[in-house]
Structure 1
Amino acid sequence: MEEEIRNFLGRFVDEFPAPLEEGSPLPVSPLSRKVSLEELHGESLELGLRLLAARGAPAVLSAHMCQAAMSQLLQNDLSPCHCPQEAEANQEELQKVTLLESEAVQRIFLNKLIDVALAWHQNSPNPLPSLSRVHLCSVHAIKNTRRKMEDRHLALAEFNQLFAIQDGVERAYYAVFDGHGGVDAATYAATHLHVTLSKQETLQSDTATAFKTAFKHIDDMFRNKAKREHLRSGSTGVAVLIQGHVLTVAWLGDSQAILVRKEEVLTLMDPHKPEREDEKQRIEDLGGCITFMGCWRVNGTYAVSRAIGDFDQKPYVSGDADCSTTQLFGDEDYVLLACDGFFDAVKPSEVPHLVLDALQQPGDLEGGTLLKQSVEAVGLRVAQQLVSHAKAAGSSDNITVMVVFLRPPEELLSQDSTSGTAQATQDSTFQSVPQQC
């Protein structure tokens, strides 16, 4: 890791030996033309992580560099980046917010990132601590037959490092967002939900409440952006936080997460669909209705009953997330997150067989052990095979699948070959097994 970090910093400072000059093009494009002070944290981190990932930075180094640059940015006087107040017809309806010119403020952030790289490269710092447990994460996403790709996802094993959380509890965050009516709401949630979650005081003591508060706040933040920029999109979402030996899942709408333990599927959640009896009752109690138009829809419009955005149908389409918490005992195989483009075509009970089938492809095993050089290939192949199966089964929607392995894949293969279909037990004793990508 030390050599990998040193080599990357050397390459990075060769490419960026000095701060970016005023007026020069940025090496990576900001998400927005204008950004509020509250949105600055998420958009800057997204920009920095994207820039570093494109250049092959170790993920843990990227998290530390972005956190350090962000900390320095927030100490700057950003008033020169303020946008002039615009006199709009609906100005009175908008929450009064200070907006910044994205290109100007992100130039400052990227220069802070370059400063961090130069300082760390020159001073040859001690190697940054590696994560003691890194889950192999397999992700694949396709537009399929749809005109546009409106899904977004985020895998963040370095949650603590990105937000400088030092309480001794390991955390990893994973999320899938399925946009509709445009990609804006999904992009917004993927950019800001984890940032808002990290700031919740109840993150460790009551993660479910922290998640619910974060989802609600993101919905409120996106409402302001939607009014400013006349956006009309919405997004379902499912997010997982693995915190120590506890897995918390939070969701809005019909994107889903399932947990597999010893090849048995454990239900973590019940997706929000208009025809679900309690959702139907909630909508009708508010004076709305659900109607069947190819599928069940809220007031004849949206096919989901909860989402970020969709403000023309609030409160019938609710912005309130649900949560569930599951204790991890160490014998769990993986958690899978996916949008409805997957689950509308594939039953959860089919998933264990499909994953094992992908793992058992020839060419990766030597003496029953997964070859180190094949781990990346396995990571790609598992999600790819699941997506391909959903498409072959008739899904025409965008499809995103994320498989987060809670044990090394070779253990799953060994389990299958020695015991066949294992039976999940409730009295398993936890054993901590370091897992590396």
Structure 2
Amino acid sequence: MEFSETAKANALKFLEEVASKERPSLAPHYPQLCLAEVEAECLDQAKNYLAKLSCPGILSYYISCEAFKRLSTSLDKYLLPSEEESRPMYNSDGVLSDLLIELHSVCEEWAASLPLMTAPVDKVDLSIFAIKNTRRKMEDRHALCVDVNALFGLKDYPHQAYYSIFDGHIGVEAASYAAITLLTNLVRHELFKDDPEGALKGAIKVTDDNVCSKNLPRSGTTAVACLQRGNKVYTGWVGDSQAMIVRNSVPTQLVKPHKPDQDDEQQRIEAAGGVVLWNGAWRVNGNLSVSRAIGDAPDKKFVIGVGDVSVADIEGTEDYLMLACDGIWDVLSMEEIVTCVQAHLTSPGGSKQTVAKAIIQLAKSEGSGDNMTVIVSFFSTFILPIQDPPPASTDASVDTQLSEEKPSAEKVDTSGQEGETPSN
């Protein structure tokens, strides 16, 4: 659907204001980038930069896409000298310096003449919350895109949205890298158009290969990523971060976690020369408690980066899609989470916006001390339960003929305020 007149007015106001703002430099995540990383880095930096400027709605996706499209026509000037011709590398500082110029150029041009832009839906109901908890460092990362088609300039696709969580270990480097690059690796995979299941599995492997080939510390990360395309949800994962879909208050698991004590995983590890030992939990060679992950280069022989993928139909009875790291699943069952969501939404003051926080608070009360990240995406078919009425007032002067109000929901407005949390 085309942007409403109000959305157009909000977009024009932003474009006019940003044209006059100072242009700070963008700090690269890595000093040099391969070709696939250039697009991922540029889109991530552009979205985060525009978000800090309070860019409304998916306008940030359209601006980011157009700016990179212009930049990509002259990438050769950023090439670095390299002996490996098959893998050219690009100077990050130069790329990001010119990206910033292109971002402001697009804003200035569109302020004078706003192009036609569409939003797939009016609103996307999202709840996102993450905490370091009792751990010394926060090693979780997450990334999302409520309109993949707009961000990548894709045509002839049904609506596509993407949600992902990465639970890092032995440092945050692998999780940060995967949060930035996995979506681009997915969209640019040769199978993406006709075989999204194969593309998601391939994108996880490409991301793992790239992490292991970069000069990063020996960190690793689990991954769970959901691509919602039309009436399907494709879920790819490595490790023990999980996702579920809830229909009419009944949860369905979308992920079978990769744990070392599973018979097939233990057999594979032992066949490769490793062992599975108990050290507070079943661990690969007594160290890692997951048997598959992105990164972990020194242990790659045993902790492989080969993901699994499941496919779920969207049947029209869906309530919500939920992704979370193991800090949630280790202490809460799917049924307990559904009960928590229901109780929160029917309690006074409960809203969709704060559902993820309520789930994390429950997990913490059940003893989880781990980093925790939760993403909940509500389907339009979800019927909001009726809230319990507030306690009756004992003050005779208070009007008791109070009109019932439905709980307010924080929405990601695809033609208004975006509300996307930067992934790193």
- Measured against the shorter chain, the TM-score band is 0.7 to 0.9
Corresponding residue of 2:144: 155
* Aligned equivalent of 1:2, options 1, 4, 8: 8
What's the offset of the Cα at 1:95? 9.3
1:229-308 equivalent positions in 2, closer than 5 A: 229-308=215-294
Equivalent position SS for 2:174: helix
* Aligned equivalent of 1:121, options 85, 104, 111: 111
Corresponding residue of 1:395: 368
Residue 361 to residue 98, structure 1, CA distance change in 2 (3 Å): same
Q: What TM-score do the two structures reach when normalised by structure 2?
A: 0.86
Residue 215 to residue 436, structure 1, CA distance change in 2 (3 Å): closer
Residue 399 to residue 239, structure 1, CA distance change in 2 (3 Å): same
User: Contact (CA 8 Å) 1:82, 1:100: kept in 2 or not?
Assistant: yes
Q: Distance in 1 between matches of 2:310 and 2:108?
A: 44
Instruction: Give the stretch that moved more between structures: 394-403 or 350-359.
Output: 350-359
What's the offset of the Cα at 1:408? 6.0
Residue 386 of structure 1 pairs with residue 359 of structure 2: yes
Corresponding residue of 1:34: 32
Q: What TM-score do the two structures reach when normalised by structure 1?
A: 0.84
Corresponding residue of 1:424: none
What's the offset of the Cα at 1:380? 3.4
* Aligned equivalent of 2:295, options 289, 297, 309: 309
Q: Distance in 2 between matches of 1:331 and 1:436?
A: 21
Instruction: State, as a whole percentage, how many aligned pairs show the same letter.
Output: 37
1:105-120 equivalent positions in 2, closer than 5 A: 105-120=95-110
Equivalent position SS for 1:259: strand
User: Contact (CA 8 Å) 1:140, 1:380: kept in 2 or not?
Assistant: no
Corresponding residue of 1:169: 158
Corresponding residue of 2:176: 187
What's the offset of the Cα at 1:278? 1.4
What's the offset of the Cα at 1:379? 4.0
Residue 133 to residue 170, structure 1, CA distance change in 2 (3 Å): farther
What's the offset of the Cα at 1:194? 0.5
Deviations 1:248-276 (A, max 9, x none): 11000000001111111112121001111
* Aligned equivalent of 1:11, options 17, 25, 29: 17
Q: Distance in 2 between matches of 1:349 and 1:363?
A: 23
Equivalent position SS for 1:121: helix
What's the offset of the Cα at 1:363? 4.3
What's the offset of the Cα at 1:37? 2.5
1:337-356 equivalent positions in 2, closer than 5 A: 337-356=323-342
Residue type at the aligned position of 2:14: F
Residue type at the aligned position of 2:100: L
Equivalent position SS for 1:232: coil
Equivalent position SS for 2:20: helix
Q: Distance in 2 between matches of 1:208 and 1:125?
A: 34
What's the offset of the Cα at 1:133? 5.9
Corresponding residue of 2:66: 68
What's the offset of the Cα at 1:84? 5.3
* Aligned equivalent of 2:93, options 89, 103, 106: 103
Residue 271 to residue 77, structure 1, CA distance change in 2 (3 Å): closer
Residue 331 to residue 196, structure 1, CA distance change in 2 (3 Å): same
Q: Distance in 2 between matches of 1:194 and 1:222?
A: 15
Q: Distance in 1 between matches of 2:386 and 2:148?
A: 31
Residue 325 to residue 394, structure 1, CA distance change in 2 (3 Å): same
Corresponding residue of 2:384: 412
Corresponding residue of 1:322: 308
Structure 1 vs Structure 2 CA RMSD: 2.2
Residue 362 to residue 277, structure 1, CA distance change in 2 (3 Å): same
Corresponding residue of 1:56: 54
Corresponding residue of 2:119: 130
> Taking CA–CA contacts closer than 8 Å with sequence separation of 6 or more, which of the two structures ends up with the larger relative contact order?
2
Instruction: Give the stretch that moved more between structures: 263-272 or 195-204.
Output: 195-204
Equivalent position SS for 1:75: helix
Equivalent position SS for 1:323: strand
What's the offset of the Cα at 1:63? 0.6
What's the offset of the Cα at 1:77? 4.5
What's the offset of the Cα at 1:130? 1.6
Q: Distance in 2 between matches of 1:400 and 1:357?
A: 20
What's the offset of the Cα at 1:7? 1.2
What's the offset of the Cα at 1:414? 5.2
Q: Distance in 1 between matches of 2:13 and 2:352?
A: 25
Gaps of 5+ in 2: 1-6, 390-410, 414-424
Instruction: Give the stretch that moved more between structures: 244-253 or 163-172.
Output: 163-172
What's the offset of the Cα at 1:182? 0.7
Deviations 1:4-48 (A, max 9, x none): 1111111211215xxx5xxxx50x422223222321110111100
Residue 206 of structure 1 pairs with residue 195 of structure 2: yes
What's the offset of the Cα at 1:83? 4.2
What's the offset of the Cα at 1:361? 3.0
In proportion to residue count, which structure has more helix? 1
Equivalent position SS for 1:345: coil
Equivalent position SS for 1:413: coil
* Aligned equivalent of 1:46, options 44, 47, 67: 44
